[in-house]
Amino acid sequence: MASEDTPDHRPAGAPDAAAPRRGLLAVGPPGTPDWLVDAVRDGGATVVPVDRAEGLLWAHPDDPDGLGQVVAVHGDSLRWIQLPWAGIEPYVRVLDHDRLWTCGKGVYAEPVAELALTLALAGFRGLPTYLHDAPLTERGTIGRNLHGASIVIVGAGGITDSFLRLVAPFAPDTTVVRRRPEPHPAATRTVTLAELDEVLVDADLVVVACALTPATKGLFDASRLRRLRSDCWLVNVARGAHVVTDDLVDALREGSLGGAGLDVTDPEPLPVDHPLWSLPTCMITPHVGNTATMARPLLAERIRTNVDRWIRGEPLLGAVDVDAGY
Amino acid sequence: MASEDTPDHRPAGAPDAAAPRRGLLAVGPPGTPDWLVDAVRDGGATVVPVDRAEGLLWAHPDDPDGLGQVVAVHGDSLRWIQLPWAGIEPYVRVLDHDRLWTCGKGVYAEPVAELALTLALAGFRGLPTYLHDAPLTERGTIGRNLHGASIVIVGAGGITDSFLRLVAPFAPDTTVVRRRPEPHPAATRTVTLAELDEVLVDADLVVVACALTPATKGLFDASRLRRLRSDCWLVNVARGAHVVTDDLVDALREGSLGGAGLDVTDPEPLPVDHPLWSLPTCMITPHVGNTATMARPLLAERIRTNVDRWIRGEPLLGAVDVDAGY
């Protein structure tokens, strides 16, 4: 077998575009869907059994034992392993420094950012009202532009990156709120969480896109919601517990904010008889920021790109920080 | 009066930034809303009675006799007249070659393009279903990305310009369909109306944004709707009569297209008992592509910009082609 005939002892992660075996990649475990195999081929690789391969796409979301066995047997020749998922917690104990590891991080932010923009536009343009009461709604009375809006985005991760890119043509004034004071390059300004209360009062739109931590749990409680203008929309595509649900119900009932677009709720799923369902200025989607259907073409694109880069000896996208475990 | 003491016989439209009276502008007729007067001042002008003014903002949407009288008396000194509206049909008989005329054309395309994107995103992401049946909808089963979509846009005017700008970050494949073969600079490709049937079959999204003419009336009839893929969304922000309503009802009932987002209908308004209202894949907004609330800040911005440019002697936006009458 090629891998035994010509063992490859170059350091892991050192690109060498001239290597003859670079284009030989394996896909596992058995049963991996065709579209993932196709993505590897579309990137320019020849799909071969793992004993002849220099790299591996491991497509199972949660089979660290299976991958561990493959690495134990063929690890000497596998110089790159691609995991398709962004959350690779199940595989942390298999990660090592003997090869390059990549994952799907960044890929899944785009659909979530799209949904955040969808909910924002739908709210601004009055869709909840029109879809419920359209025949009876007076013409021309509802809705306003997102163009030129003041937008506060809580969090500075991949969703925020994508959202700022999608919203840029609307010429908004954007404030990113994050833990560290490091400015987000695509935002009008960046402030820390300590300044959240100050920036909320001028917002037309607030997008919650941060990780759930002790510092952000219950961030939008009654006192914070009261700081929002009565025409401000709140969009949450992060985690339900960022918002105190009962306080949001009160605020929406009082009309102290314009409305809410929620892809996540607390509790989740929301009980069928929960009051949020019946509030006319609340739009709820059931955690569909990133569905399998949406992720598939984006993931295929990422894998194609990485295979192509691997063959050319270029840096790969989504490199895992092995010590950090993500 | 100043206009009689120092008659100004420079050719109309010849900018001269050094002229001392350039910053003196009038606003009429009496009763013009403050925000329009403020926009003139914000542009750097001093608002003066028309007999001392070198330029005029005429803000009434339909008072050609009033404007005609002002021009008859003060026309010698009025070197620029700004009409705020894009459709200036009522004023065609007052237009002349003795001064520069500008209007609001281009200003109103942006809100309409925003609504087109709103309806497209809402359709793609399943909002009609979620807003009606959310508590009962299975998680994660509905919705797809606009990212990378194949979009056909019928028409190549201001709405299309704005829409292409707003949708660009979604990395779409865009086909503009227009009368003349002249390529739209922001589209992936441009084809003529004769090629419409060919390009429809691959579309994820069709946006109707063209003028209503004999060539486009009933453009989307049963045979054209049948060419659309069963997951394609049709968005109409132009005129209701571009689509044959009964044929659309049939297509939506059969599920032969994904859904429709309509800001315009035929008839309009749609009767309260019309079948379109009850179709779950149809979103209808009551011709709110551009409401007064939306237009106001955009129009104020246009007027500010033009006043500033006028004072600096720079070319103005929205110059009227006097012979063409628009």
Q: What is the mean pLDDT of chain A?
A: 90
pLDDT in tens, B192-247: 999 999 999 999 999 999 988 899 999 999 999 999 999 999 999 999 999 999 99
Between CA A61 and CA A68, with CA A62 as vertex, the angle to 5 degrees is 115
pLDDT at B3 over 60: no
- Are residues B114 and A165, on separate chains, in Cβ contact within 8 Å? no
Residue of B nearest to A274 (CA): B135
Are both A209 and A225 inside the same structural domain?
A: yes
| Per-residue confidence (pLDDT) for residue A135, from 0 to 100 | 63
Q: Residue B276 has which token pair?
A: 């379109």
A250, A134: one domain: yes
Nearest to A290 by CA among A112, A164, A116: A112
Tell whether pTM > 0.95: no
Q: Which of B40, B149, B25 is nearest to B77 (CA)?
A: B25
Decide if A38 is inside a domain: yes
pLDDT at residue B292, rounded to an integer: 83
Range of the domain at A90: 2-107+293-312
pLDDT category of residue B291 using cuts at 50, 70 and 90: confident
Greater model confidence, A291 or A252: A252
- Segment B49-70 shows an average pLDDT of 96
- The per-residue pLDDT for B9 is 38
Contact A317, A306 (CB under 8 A): yes
Which one of B226, B229, B274, B287 is the catalytic residue? B287
Confidence at B86, pLDDT banded by 50, 70, 90: confident
User: For position A22, which CATH number holds?
Assistant: 3.40.50
φ/ψ region of B203 (left if φ > 0, alpha if ψ in -120 to 50, else beta) reads beta
Predicted pLDDT of residue B20? 57
Helix B109-124 / helix B158-167 crossing angle, nearest 10 deg: 50
Q: What is the mean pLDDT of residues B69-76?
A: 96
3-state secondary structure of B134: helix
pLDDT of B16 over the 80 cut: no
Residues of A in contact with B130 (CB under 8 A): 283-286, 288
Does residue A4 have a pLDDT over 90? no
The bridge status of strand B150-154 relative to strand B205-208 is parallel
Backbone angles phi, psi at B148, to 5 degrees: 75, 10
Q: Which residue is it, tokens 């992660």?
A: A13
* Catalytic positions of A, written as ranges: 239, 268, 287
Are B63 and B146 found together in one domain? no
Specify whether B209 is located in the same domain as B96: no
List C-alpha distances in Å: A91 to A84, A172, A324.
12, 40, 12
A318 in a structural domain? no
Q: Say yes or no: A97 and A193 in one domain.
A: no
Are B285 and A134 within 8 A, CB to CB? yes
The pLDDT of residue B142: 82
Interface contact flag, B114 A277, Cβ < 8 Å: no
- Best probe of the B interface among A115, A117, A118, A284, by most B CBs < 10 A, is A118
Window from A135-149, B35-49, B184-198 with minimum mean pLDDT: A135-149
Residues A111, B147: C-beta atoms closer than 8 Å = yes
The arithmetic mean of pLDDT across residues B171-180, rounded, is 96
Question: CB contact, 8 Å: B279 with chain A?
Answer: no
Are A203 and A173 in contact by the 8 Å Cβ rule? The answer is no
Flag whether residue A170 sits within 8 Å of chain B, measured between CB atoms.
yes
CA distance A146 to chain B (A): 8
Contact map slice: A 136-155 vs B, CB within 8 A: 136-137, 139-148
One domain for residues B102 and B162: no
Distance separating alpha carbons of residues A163 and A115, to the nearest angstrom:
9
Shared domain check, A273 and A144: yes
- Cα dist from A201 to A151, A223, A228, A256, whole Å: 11, 12, 5, 12
Q: Is B22 helix (H, G, I), strand (E, B) or coil?
A: coil
Q: Which pLDDT tens digit goes with each residue over A32-53? A: 999 999 999 999 999 999 999 9
Contact at CB, B285 and A127, closer than 8 angstroms: yes
- How many CB atoms are located within 10 Å of the residue B194 CB? 10
Is the residue at A70 inside a domain? yes
CB contact, 8 Å: B114 with chain A? Answer: yes
Is residue A25 in some structural domain? yes
Question: How far apart, in whole angstroms, are the C-alpha atoms of residue B190 and residue A105?
Answer: 36
- The gap from C-alpha B67 to its chain's centroid, in whole angstroms, comes to 25
Q: What is the mean pLDDT of residues B277-294?
A: 90
Q: Determine the distance in angstroms separating the CA of B124 from the nearest CA of chain A, rounded to an integer.
A: 9
Note whether A56 and A131 are same-domain residues: no
B254: how many CB neighbours lie within 10 A of its CB?
11
More confident residue, A265 or B88: A265
Tell me how many domains chain B contains.
Answer: 2
pLDDT band, residue A3 (cuts 50/70/90):
very low
Taking the C-alpha atoms of residue A301 and residue A299, their distance in angstroms, rounded to an integer, is 5
Q: Is B239 a catalytic residue?
A: yes
Rounded to a whole number of angstroms, the distance from the CA of B260 to the nearest CA of chain A is 13
B118–A125 CB contact, under 8 Å: yes
Residues B57, B162, single domain; the answer is: no
Model confidence at B279: pLDDT above 70 = yes
Is there a single domain that holds both residue A116 and residue A43? Answer: no
The confidence score (pLDDT) of residue B21 equals 75
pLDDT of res. B11: 40
* Distance in angstroms (rounded) separating the CA atoms of residues A269 and A287: 9
pLDDT of amino acid B138: 57
User: What count of CB pairs under 8 Å joins A to B?
Assistant: 154
- Asked if pLDDT for residue A55 goes beyond 90, the answer is yes
**In chain B, what residues touch A169 (CB-CB under 8 Å)?**
165-166, 168-169
Which pLDDT score, from 0 to 100, does residue A7 have? 35
Residue B170's contacts (CB-CB under 8 Å, 6 or more residues apart) are A114, A166, B145, B146, B147, B148, B149
Q: Does A280 touch chain B (CB under 8 A)?
A: no
Q: Do A234 and A304 share a structural domain?
A: no
Q: What is the pLDDT of residue A12?
A: 43
Q: Is residue B115 less than 8 Å (CB to CB) from chain A? A: yes
Residue entry with tokens 């309409």:
B112
- Per mean pLDDT, which range of A308-312, B106-110, B161-165 is the poorest? B106-110
Of A146, A287, A293, the CB nearest to B114: A146
DSSP string across A253-279: HHT-SSEEEESS-SSSSPPTT-GGGG-
- pLDDT of amino acid B67: 97
At A22, the pLDDT band (50, 70, 90 cuts) reads confident
Question: Considering CB atoms only, which of A122, A139, A293 is closest to B118?
Answer: A122
CB A169 to CB B170 under 8 A? no
Residue B14 has pLDDT above 50, yes or no: no
Question: Among A21-25, A257-261, B301-305, which is the least confidently predicted range?
Answer: A21-25
- Helix locations, A30-149, DSSP H: 34-42, 64-74, 109-124, 127-133
CA distance to partner chain B, nearest, from residue A98 (Å): 36
Give pLDDT, residue A305: 97
Nearest C-alpha of chain B: how many angstroms from A224? Answer: 26
Interface of A with B in 206-265 (CB under 8 A): none
Per-residue model confidence as pLDDT tens digits over B106-135: 888 999 999 999 999 999 999 998 887 656
Are B121 and A114 a contacting pair at CB < 8 A?
A: yes
Helix residue ranges, H only, B91-229: 109-124, 127-133, 158-167, 196-200, 222-227
Q: Is residue B68 part of a domain?
A: yes
Specify the pLDDT at position A131.
Answer: 85
- B177 located within any domain: yes
Q: What is the mean pLDDT of chain B?
A: 90
**Which whole number is the average pLDDT over A172-199?**
96
Rounded to whole angstroms, the Cα distance separating B56 from B67 reads 10
Position A14 pLDDT exceeds 50: no
Instruction: State whether A98 and A114 are in the same domain.
Output: no
Query: Looking at the domain assignment, is residue B317 inside a domain?
Result: no
User: Does the structure show a pLDDT above 70 at A9?
Assistant: no
Residue B325 belongs to some domain of the structure: no
CATH number at residue B55: 3.40.50.720
pLDDT (tens digit, 9 = 90+) per residue, A119-146? 999 999 999 988 876 565 554 578 889 9
Partner-chain contact A168 B165, CB within 8 Å: no
